[in-house]
Each structure stands twice: as structure tokens, then as C-alpha cells.
Homo-oligomer: A and B are copies of this chain.
Amino acid sequence: MSPHPPIRRAEIIAVGSELLGSVRLDTNSLFVTDRLAALGISVRAKSVVGDDRDDLASIFGAALGRADLIVLTGGLGPTADDLTRDVVAGVLGLPLEEDPAIVEVIERRFARRGLRMPDVNRRQAMVPRGATVLDNPNGTAPGLLIESGPRMIALLPGPPRELQPMVEALCAGPWQERAGRERLFKASLFVTGRGESHVEEIVQPIYSRWAAADPPIETTILASPGMIELHLTLRSDDAADGLRRVQAARDELVAALGADVFGIDGRALEEIVGERLRDRGLTISAAESCTGGLFMSRLTDIPGSSAYVRAGVVVYSNEAKTSLAGVPEALIAEHGAVSEPVALALAQGIRERTGSSVGIGISGIAGPGGATPGKPVGTVAIAMAGPGDLVRTRTVSLPGGRLMVKFQAAQAALDMIRRALT
């Protein structure tokens, strides 16, 4: 048992000038945050700093005054730019000493590829006195864990495939031992077919009640095109009760939002739809215009989708609608290509030609060109034919640019199937 109080407050510092541009992003902090949260440790702040000795010393020093656990990522490479080891040891007043065991491990790594270790890699064997060395099976830079009074400081390599196994090992070992008894419990649900403000209106009274509960349930609502995510978190030192409460809370939201909830476990809509099709032994084909193949591509993103996906056609031109999906020319002339009768003819045509249980037809205007009077950009007609005599048609008006219209139209088609097969 550690004589120190539990670790509750963490900060993350990502080191590397390349992370300060607008091209490359620090994503390690998301992974670390997630794993720490599971141990009940909150990330209170995070920073990105370049390969600059003074800036890093200043930011690390300030974090030491605020946090129990500081996780530094990157800057452990062998070059003169890699300053994390030096700066952290300097701020903490610890001497750096070469660890012969690390030199040997790195030499062996090079030897396996038939190479001699360059002298510059000796930097990676320098260890602040008293630090624990963390194994790196995927690279030359070992991680380091320093205990400084009640604080823990972890130095981890920047490449995600090197960092992630080290974080897992720390979570299973020293971090878990020093974490409090409190753990974080999470649940989430995904909603489609309803606007954010409409969802807010329904869930706000429930949220308010939870926020006042003890322990409170924190809620985040996140809107993206074609979908709304609701994330619930609760802290509790009683594992069974925490899990039960957060799941009960999620179920309360599911009941309030009804059929608009498409998933409670983070799964994508195409996965849910695939499951419904497979469970019922159905097959599916689609004739797409404005989505240009995106509907089919999303369906086939799911492993095992070949069990229910028969075929698809992308019919951009009116001739292709006729030749590949059998839509009568006269129907297009009468109603226009973007219309529910044409969408339904696409669905029925592709269903018949491929002998599928379900046919989907999508015809719309993705923009920026192609709008006609009464049919602005974003107008999309969607139809579903089968299984059996089932027929659904719907016209939606979708906001946003070309890619957003494509995505939301595919989403609306997937959602039509989900609702019809519920």
C-alpha cells in the first residue's frame, strides 16, 4: 500500500513541435484519458508543447503544482530534439544515469535487423535516478515511471503502437494501485431521425434530475450530421451499483426517446441494419443515384456483410436508371428523377433483377448544382421495397454541402430499413 493519498487529478503533456501545426494532431491524449477515466482519474488539463527546453520545463513545472499524475507523451527518441527525459529530470532535480540493461535491449533490437546500434541511441538508455523502466516491445524508447513524493510522472513514447501497450500495463499495475476506489461507469446511446433541440427538450428534465442525484450522472449530448450521441457517466466506489445505475439511466432515456434510438452500445447504424437483415435471413440490393455508392459502401463496411448484401447499382444518369434498374422512361419524364415514384421504381427494379428480399432506391440532389424549382439541393427521395409486400417511401430535405447530403441520405435510407424491420 502506498503511504500517499489516491491519485485523482491527472494532466497530459504531448511533446513535439510537429503536433503544434495544423496537420498532425495529438490523439494519444484521447486514449490516455479514456483509460484513466476507467480508473476514476480525471484529466483536468492537457497541453501540447514543442521541442523547446524552456517551454516544456515551464509547462511541466506548472502541471506539477496542480496534478497528482502527469503523463508526458513523445520526445523520447534518440535525437537532440528529444528533450522530455532531460527536462523532466532537470525540473525534478534527479540525475540521469545510463542503464546498461536498456542499452542491451536496444542493441539486441538492432542486432535482430543485422545492424549495430548507433551511438545516438544511448540517449534512450538514460534514466532519472529511481525511475521504473517500462518495457517497449514495439520500439527502442523505453517508458519511464517516476514517483516523486505523492506524485507520479509517466514518460511515454509518442507512436501510438508503442504508447498503448504501456498505458494498458500501467492501468493494470501501478496506476490502478494508486487510484482511489472510485471507478467511472459509462453508457451511451445513438439517436437518429430527430433534431438536436427536439432531443434536448425530451431529455433535459431527465438530465436535471440526474445532475441533482448522489452520485450525479453527467451527460453529454453531441450532434453530428444524421445522428445524435448521448453519453452518460457516473462515478461510484460500488462497482455493482454504479453499473446498474448508469444502465438504468440509459434505459430511461431509451424509453423516453422510443424508436428514434438506434443503438445503445456505440455500434454504427449499418451494423444494426446488417444484424436485422442477417437475423431474419434477408438479402438486400440497392439502386443509388445521389449517394453514388456510399449506401452500399457503408453496408459493406461491416465484416460478414457478404452474407446479406447481394448487389448494388449506381445510376447517375437517367439511361442508367432505366438500363440497370428497369425504371420506365415515362415515369422519369412524368415525375422527374428526384421523386418518390422513381425512388420506388429503383427499389423495386433492383430487387427484382437481383432476386433480393429488400430493394432500396435513392434519388436526390447532392449539390452544389442540379437544383430545380421546387427541388432545392438536399432534396432526396428514398424508397424501400420488400420484404414481401412492404413498401416505404420518404422525401427528406438535408442541410449542408455535397458530402453531408450524401452521408445523411445514406443514413436516412439505413434508418428506413431499421425502422421497417423493428
Contact = CB atoms under 8 A, between A and B. Distances in A.
A53 interface: no
A245 to B, nearest CB: 19
Interface hub of A18, A304, A309, A316 (most chain B Cβ within 10 A)? A316
Contacts of A59: 45, 62
Interface in A35-85: 37, 42-50, 52, 54-55, 58-59, 62, 65-66
A304 B292 CA distance: 12
Contact of A314 (B18, B46, B54, B296): B296
Contacts of A366: 300
Interface stretch (A20-28, A97-105, A164-172, A389-397): A20-28
Contact of A293 (B300, B369, B403): B300
Interface in A340-376: 353-354, 366-370
A45 B58 CA distance: 11
Contact of A22 (B37, B292, B299): B37
A45 B66 contact: no
B312 A313 contact: yes
A297 B410 CA distance: 11
Interface string A264-286: 00000000000000000000000
Interface in A301-335: 301, 303-306, 309-317, 320, 323-324
A222 interface: yes
Contacts of A55: 44-45, 66
B44 A47 contact: no
Interface residues of A, number: 70
A30 interface: yes
A54 B314 CA distance: 57
B303 A297 contact: no
Contacts of A204: none
8 contacts: A20-B46, A23-B231, A292-B299, A297-B406, A311-B323, A313-B324, A323-B353, A324-B353
Given A25-B30, A45-B55, A311-B314, 13 more contacts: A22-B33, A44-B52, A55-B66, A291-B297, A293-B293, A293-B312, A301-B402, A310-B317, A311-B316, A311-B324, A312-B312, A313-B324, A323-B354
Closest 10 A/B residue pairs (Cβ):
A292-B300, A293-B293, A293-B296, A312-B314, A311-B320, A293-B297, A294-B297, A47-B47, A22-B34, A62-B62
